[in-house]
Amino acid sequence: MKHTLPNLEYQYDALEPHIDKETMEIHHTKHHQAYVTKLNQALENQEAFKEKELEALMASLEELPQEVYWAVRNNGGGHYNHRLFWKFLSPQGGGKPTGKLLEAIEKTFGSFEAFQESFNKAATTRFGSGWAWLILNKNKELEVTSTPNQDNPLMDGNDILLGLDVWEHAYYLKYQNKRPDYIHAWWNVVNWDYVSQRYESFQ
């Protein structure tokens, strides 16, 4: 099975002015495509793993032969994370979630604003490259966390609800070194409908 670059559900300029067209196009066609290409190369001679679905592959990394472990972890993680990331964004996004997800956020964090503050801190303080996440942990509790590089919470058996790419390639053309400005803008395009669907599917 060859892994492939997914099509976006919106145009590259659809998230303007919050995320610019040039960043989206380069991020999708260059960075994400590179992860897909390198993942396929790493799995080329791995018959036991090349037919696995991406999610199953991420959940079984420790079974990989050592010679391809890091290539699959890094590039498979990059492919998986970005495949989700595009769905976490929407031109009709922003605002707050509703229903069961909002109730769970308010119960866990006290308020939606307190959740945002916690998420912002995780995204801002993630040193170097990585991701910030809202997850449903193994105890079925909401939790904000972050991971380095292209690691993700699925690798540790947690369910991902929302993720933000804080690698510089995700924002540098527009925001330069001002990561907090990028994070602030990103809230305006969060696809809460999709995040809520994920939350309910994990119940």
Domain ranges of the chain: 21-87, 99-201
Query: In one letter, which amino acid is 70?
Result: W
List Cα–Cα distances, 166 to 65, 125, 139, in angstroms: 29, 10, 27
165 annotated among ligand-binding-site residues: yes
3 annotated among ligand-binding-site residues: no
Choose the CATH number for 99-201 among 1.10.357.10, 3.55.40.20, 1.10.3720.10, 3.10.129.10. Answer: 3.55.40.20
Indicate if the pLDDT at residue 203 is higher than 90.
no
Which CATH class name applies to 21-87? Answer: mainly alpha
Q: What is the pLDDT of residue 148?
A: 99
pLDDT tens digit sequence for 49-90? 989 999 999 999 999 999 999 999 999 999 999 999 999 999
